[in-house]
A and B are shown apart, each in its own frame.
Chain A
Amino acid sequence: RKEVEQDPGPFNVPEGATVAFNCTYSNSASQSFFWYRQDCRKEPKLLMSVYSSGNEDGRFTAQLNRASQYISLLIRDSKLSDSATYLCVAVTTSGTYKYIFGTGTRLKVLA
């Protein structure tokens, strides 16, 4: 079982739709979580950190559920420019250092 798992998609949604991705992690010692965005043939870039109480950045909302060991990303009012692959990350620094990326969820926003 992978330490961080994501549905690869693709999620095809119309412009203006709301879409949500989940990401599960297996290491209960994971302390920090992030969502990165990666455009085709480009490097990953931080989208947002994920805080325990949940956090919002414009149209994007991230949530953490430690009991069920998953994080989520909600995108409201999808734009064509949101089309990309979204990578979740779980970080463990106690014991063996691990900064584990999921394989990504591909989103296509359709006109």
Chain B
Amino acid sequence: NAGVTQTPKFRVLKTGQSMTLLCAQDMNHEYMYWYRQDPGMGLRLIHYSVGEGTTAKGEVPDGYNVSRLKKQNFLLGLESAAPSQTSVYFCASSYSMADTQYFGPGTRLTVL
């Protein structure tokens, strides 16, 4: 089992460009999450999903959109990237909302 995978691993964008980060999990988890991690701020929840076709806002949702068209995939979109979105993005999944979360390897995004 691959667990949780993320693509791409690295990306550099110019301000105003758009991109989509892909997260896939093969553990048949209902719950999936997108976090960003910044120095001194820790992991902050951007959006999450409690099942296929559902999404909800987390702590820092502005500037991001998500979609969960298939149970195994959770996409994070940046419509118009800003330098403040330079960060490391982690996807995670879990069996239930209060359970252990399994993380992907992360995507390092730089917005110039």
Using a CB–CB cutoff of 8 Å, the interface residues on chain A facing chain B are 31-32, 34, 42-46, 49, 87, 91, 93, 97, 99, 101-104
CB <8 Å contact, B100 and A34:
yes
Q: Is B69 an interface residue (CB 8 A)?
A: no
Contacting residues, chain B, for A91 (C-beta < 8 A): 97-98
Q: Are A42 and B42 in contact (CB under 8 A)?
A: no
A-B pairs with beta carbons under 8 A, tally: 40
Pick from B40, B45, B90, B102: contact of A99, CB below 8 A.
B45
Stretch in B60-68, B78-86, B103-111 touching the partner:
B103-111
Select one of B41, B45, B103 contacting A45, CB under 8 A: B103
Let me know if A31 and B98 touch, CB within 8 A: yes
Are B42 and A102 in contact, CB atoms less than 8 angstroms apart?
yes
Q: How far is the CB of A78 from chain B (nearest CB, A)?
A: 24
**In contact, B97 and A93 (Cβ under 8 angstroms):** yes
Q: A103's contact among B42, B97, B105, by CB below 8 Å, is which?
A: B42
Residues of chain A within 8 A (CB-CB) of B105 are: 42-43
Interface centre among A31, A42, A101, A102 (most CB of B within 10 A): A101
Sample of 15 further A-B pairs with CB below 8 A, known A31-B98, A32-B98: A42-B105, A43-B105, A43-B106, A44-B101, A45-B103, A49-B100, A87-B43, A91-B97, A93-B98, A99-B45, A99-B97, A101-B42, A101-B43, A103-B40, A103-B41
Residues of chain A within 8 A (CB-CB) of B90 are 43-44
A33's nearest neighbour on chain B, judged by CB, is B98
CA distance A81 to B90 in the complex (A): 23
Task: List, in ascending order, chain B residues with CB within 8 A of A103's CB.
Answer: 40-42
The complex places the Cα of A87 from the Cα of B41 at a distance, in Å, of 12
**Bound: A44/B56 CA distance, A:** 22
| Residues on A with beta carbons closer than 8 Å to the beta carbon of B41 | 103
Across the A-B interface, give the 10 residue pairs with the lowest CB-CB distance, nearest first.
A103-B42, A43-B103, A101-B43, A32-B98, A46-B100, A91-B98, A101-B42, A93-B98, A44-B103, A93-B97
